[in-house]
Amino acid sequence: MNMTWFDYLTLAIRFFGGLGIFFFGMSTMSAALEQMAGEKLQKTLEAMTGNIIKAVIAGALVTAVIQSSTGTTVMVVGFVNAGIMTLRQAVGIIMGANIGTTVTAQLLSLDSGSGGSIMGLLKPSVLCYILLALGAITMTFSKKKKLRKLCEILIGVGLLFVGMTTMETAVSVLNELPAFRQAFIVLKNPVLGIAVGAFITALLHSSAASIGILQAAAATGAVTYAAALPIIMGQNIGTCWTSIESSMGATKNARRAAMIHFFFNLIGSVLFIIAIYSINAVVGFDFWNEPVNKSGIANFHTLFNVTVTLLFIPFRGQLVKLAESVVRSTEVEPEERLLNILDTRFYATPTVALEQCHKVIHEMGALALENVRMTIFGIVDHTELDGEQFEKNEDFIDLCEARVNTYLLGLKDQDLSELNKRNYNEIMHAVGEFEQVGDYAENLYEQYNYIVDNNVQFSDDALCEIGVMANAAEEIISLTVEAFETADGGLISRIEALEEVIDALKETLKSKHIIRLQNGQCTVKNGIPFLDIIHNLEKIADHCSNIGIYVLMFNDRTNDFDIHEYRKMVEQANQSLSTTWSKQYEEQYLDMVLMDGTQPA
């Protein structure tokens, strides 16, 4: 057969066009599947990692949903990097991911029935148009979100089949070329076959696409079992590249998880190829030099991954040790370990990404509380404050805010569910408020240094008043950190009640200070830091109140109001509960400073 350069160009355009449709179909299908099940993916993985068999099943299920073993493995690398999952837990999921990825190949191998039978409708070349028509027409007229996502899945599968059929049509022309057949004779060499399979898969970043290309080539009848098997082994090795690439710059354990994936596939492939070739040398397979079809490739791919997984389950501990010996351990600072959980790998699963932000912000609140306690303790008890630790905490609070904001900026481009959008907005507002609490703690630290440097001596009454207001501020920060974590409306009612009492405390303490000033019991020099301290404590309470309202507002799915308007609604709705807590906090804090008969301001 004589082919001109134009024929080759046309063939190449058709083939790569088909490959593009194949990729787009796989992406459309997996994105829709992931959005339908995405909220449950992390829970599925976390809930089933305690037992190796459950972990393997979880890995297979999640991979079958997102149609990518690489995607699952990268997700696992992210979980290990964030400390959500241990290496031993990750092993089972990585093994299961290899089984789950065989679903695509089995889907593409559907070739039942003949043209004259009703079963002929199940042929990919016919079924693709049925799925596309059903998905597109239903999607046009449906307004239901879940049904539209289901239609996207149908369209994705349809495009997958269209891409596969297009590639098959393009490659079928090459069957008449001696060079094409000679190429697959050369690929019977196992080393060369493995190298080609690994290279193409690493290049495409998808073993499913690589298998699809092999199945398209097999449809010509030029590919034998002897040529296909080494290529499939190589494809399993090549799929590890993406997880290794994604682990670069991550924690030691994340890199170890990627190495477990690599060693599992590499050792499994080498052992399997040795076993197959040894048996063939002794027994001689009748099918060895026979053409392989799409089903044969899919079935061998499944057989290989299931067999290797079953063989390696008892040796999972050895896999972990091997990875640990290659990637040696070094000490990691706790702060670095915490910020490592803001991993861009989680962008594909926004629910998980937002949970990591929650953890970082929770730590910000805890450190802000620690700094407030340190400064007040130093002021009231005249003790030396650990300035180095304070500044370390404050620097880390600022770093957390910057990292979370940057992380949220990248997450904004993802397709967020309605619930995730609310969670995103809550976090975006809360991180700034917690950082402000840290800044006011820093103002208190400056006042502490002023008091020490200028030898300011407060009266016993002033020290007692600062202590009372500081205790109230510490409690409201603790309540806020807990409310942010739990979204408990009862805690937020307490925050609002306590914030009002702290406002009253500030005005009362100002009045008492003025009286002391008039009576000559206090000086202007002492009054400046005193007023600054109570002002900063009151501002801390304001920001805690804002956080509480944001949490309540963004967890209320029926309303979306301005924060001031929403605060009024909350106060009206929880008036009786707030009144109860207000009385308790007045007795606990305000009455403590009114024992001398001074009236509240």
Q: How far is CA 529 from the centre of its chain?
A: 45
In whole angstroms, what is the distance from residue 552 CA to residue 547 CA?
Answer: 9
pLDDT of 39 over the 60 cut: no
Higher pLDDT, 453 or 46: 453
| Residue range 356-387, pLDDT digits in tens | 899 899 999 999 999 999 999 888 888 888 88
**pLDDT tens readout for residues 110-147:** 664 444 455 555 666 777 888 899 988 988 888 787 78
Burial class (CB in 10 A: 0-12, 13-18, 19+), 144: exposed
Output the pLDDT for position 601. Answer: 38
284: left (phi over 0), alpha (psi -120 to 50) or beta: left
Model confidence pLDDT, tens digit, residues 314-326? 988 898 889 888 8
Distance in Å from the first CA to the final CA of the chain: 100
**pLDDT at residue number 480:** 94
Q: What is the pLDDT of residues 256-285, one digit of tens each?
A: 888 998 999 999 999 999 999 999 888 888
| pLDDT at res. 113 | 44
Q: Distance between CA 413 and CA 94 in Å, rounded?
A: 28
474-495 pLDDT, tens digit per residue, is 999 999 999 998 888 888 889 9
How many CB atoms neighbour CB 72 within 10 A?
30
Cα 432 → chain centroid: 22
Helix (H, G, I), strand (E, B) or coil at 353: helix
Domains observed in the chain: 5-326 (no CATH), 337-593 (1.20.58.220)
> What is the spatial distance between Cα 502 and Cα 477, in angstroms, rounded to a whole number?
12
Quick one: residue 332, left, alpha or beta (phi over 0 = left, psi -120 to 50 = alpha)? beta
Kindly state the average pLDDT of the residues 228-251.
Answer: 83
Query: Is 152 within 8 Å of 139 (Cβ atoms)?
Result: yes
Decide if 540 contacts 477 (C-beta within 8 A). yes
Q: Is residue 487 a contact partner of residue 551, using CB atoms and an 8 Å limit? A: yes
Q: In this structure, what DSSP letter does residue 293 have?
A: -
- Mind listing the pLDDT tens digit for each residue in 388-426? 899 999 998 998 898 899 999 888 888 787 888 888 988
Alpha-carbon gap, residue 162 to 53, rounded angstroms: 36
Measured distance CA(171)–CA(221) in Å, rounded: 11
pLDDT in the model for residue 111: 60
For residue 542, list its beta bridge partners.
none
Cα distance between residue 529 and residue 139, in whole Å: 66
Taking CA 14 as the corner, what is the angle to CA 10 and CA 20, rounded to the nearest 5 degrees? Answer: 140
* DSSP three-state, residue 110: coil
In this structure, how many other beta carbons lie within 10 angstroms of the beta carbon of residue 127? 17
